[in-house]
Amino acid sequence: MQPTGTEYPPARLAWTTVAILMLAYVFSFIDRQILNLLVAPVRRDLQISDTQMSYLLGLSFALFYTICGIPLGRLADTRSRRGLIATGLVFWSAMTAGCGLARSYGTFLLFRMGVGVGEATLSPSAYSLLADSFPKERRATAISVYSMGIYLGSGLAFLLGGLVIKFASAAGEITLPIVGDVRPWQMVFLVLGVSGLVFSLAVLAIREPTRKGVGAGVAVPLKDFAAWMNANRRTVLHHNVGVALMSFAAYGAAAWVPSFFIRTYGWDAPTTGLVYGAITAVFGASGIVFGGRFADRLLARGQHDAAMRVAMYGAIASVPFLVSFPLAPTPQLAALLLAPSVFCLAMPFGVAPAAIQEIMPNALRSQASAVYLFVVNLIGLGLGPTAVALCTDYVFHDDKAVRYSLLIVSTVAVLGAATLLATGLRHYRDSIERLKTWDFAPQAPGTTR
């Protein structure tokens, strides 16, 4: 049944929802990215290689995050999105705390899988909530502000990781009641887990907006979802895989840029965490919001493919910086060149999910977002860090060659992304027109179509 309420929530309420969801996203990215600056102590304590470490950094999380995202996205199209997010936040926070209790590689791997399952509840539900909270002309900006959590969370993870390393050099093991002795890197997982559990109460302050747009309030069978995705398969392929290749470059860099500064220039982990954390938080957050604002302005001028076009612009603009920063002769120049590369790589990650909302009926938005996240995270988070590690371990056979691995993997991925996004613009415009003809009539029990 089509809902009767078509008004969007008051601006204050809508932006409060954005703020709460963005903070939840910050927690999720701190929890998944904190490990990136803890490579050395975790490798030492668990006695593992770069390639094994990359499975903790990416694949173990991404595999379960992506697989669970699709059924959870389907739930978000028909159930309370707020309730789903709150439940997921409690679960992934508990799993994060579990990482702090891990004493072996296998146990750590299992808890990282659990973090992925819990975090799979967040973004499909959040994108749907925000699409129903803001009109079309402000949607890309709102989703981009929510997506700032990616870079604020990652930046805080690097900053926090640097402080942990500095603290570890002075403190050694910490003894906790019941738990016993823990390393400083284990302590940070415990603190993050408990903090997330406390923050989960804030999610209950979100008010569910009325579902709006084509297909709002309709429960659509899975076969009809599959049929609509098939009708838009060219758009979905170019969009999802194009953005996934951007994610491939971004996650590969996020996982190994700290090690690049440490191994290439001899920086210590606290200095690396401070510099890279600040670059990520400032330039990543500003890049993602700039992308959303730019897309909304292009849309206001009649550029209907604005969301996908801005993602393409980000891919093209990032290439010269991705080529140059790994080859910089000094760490200061490398950091200077890294800043615009982070800015450009961030541009698609607010507009890309907004683009999905514009070509999907309301009843399919969360499911389509889950498919997008499946592709983006399986390719990006699941394979990006591992691709860099494999290149370092098996092509160059030298830990200090990580600079060349970053250059090759990131540049090839982003060139592929730019090509797919550019060639997909026409298909995206076709999908916008196709949505105007979408019609689904719920059937009474016992009838067939």
Q: What angle do CA 235, 7, 442 make, to 5 degrees?
A: 55
pLDDT at 319: 97
Rounded CA separation 8/238 (Å): 31
- Count of domains for the chain: 1
Question: Do the domain assignments include residue 387?
Answer: yes
Structural domain includes residue 37? yes
Instruction: Please give the pLDDT value at position 5.
Output: 47
Contact partners, residue 365, CB within 8 Å, separation at least 6: 77, 127, 128, 131, 356, 357
d(CA 298, CA 292): 10
Q: What is the pLDDT of residue 117?
A: 93
pLDDT of residue 46: 85
Residue 385 structure tokens:
């860090």
Give residue for tokens 């975090």: 119
Is 449 among the domain residues?
Answer: no
Nearest CA among 253, 275, 280 for reference residue 333: 275
Q: Which parts of the chain sit beneath pLDDT 50?
A: 1-5, 443-449
- In which domain, by residue range, is 69 found? 11-435
Residue 96 domain-assigned?
Answer: yes
End-to-end Cα spacing for the chain: 18
Q: What is the pLDDT of residue 136?
A: 84
Q: Which residues pair with 174 in a beta bridge?
A: 182
CATH of the domain at 136: 1.20.1250.20
Q: Which residues pair with 180 in a beta bridge?
A: 176
Q: For residue 194, which of 31, 84, 36 has the smallest C-alpha distance?
A: 31
User: Is 1 inside a domain boundary?
Assistant: no
The pLDDT, as a whole number, for residue 404 is 97
Instruction: Determine the 3-state secondary structure of 181 from DSSP.
Output: strand
Judge whether 445 lies within some domain.
no
Pairwise CA distance, residues 370 & 409, whole Å: 26
- 426 CB contacts (<8 Å, ≥6 apart)? none
Q: Which residues of 306-341 are buried (b: 16+ CB within 10 A; e: fewer)?
A: bbbbbbbbbbbbbbebbbbbbebeebeebbebbbbb
Residues 6+ apart with CB under 8 A from 336: 328
Q: Give pLDDT, residue 3.
A: 41
- The number of C-alpha atoms within 13 Å of 284 and in the hemisphere containing its C-beta is 25
Tell me the C-alpha distance between 282 and 264, whole Å. Answer: 24
- Alpha carbon separation from 248 to 255, 308, 377, 383, 443 (Å, rounded): 11, 18, 8, 7, 42
* pLDDT value of position 443: 46
Domain assignment present for residue 4? The answer is no
Residue 446 placed within a domain: no
> pLDDT (tens digit, 9 = 90+) per residue, 151-207?
898 888 878 777 766 765 566 677 777 777 778 778 888 888 999 999 999 999 999
Q: What pLDDT was estimated at residue 176?
A: 74
β strands within 92-156, DSSP E: none
User: Model-level pTM?
Assistant: 0.80
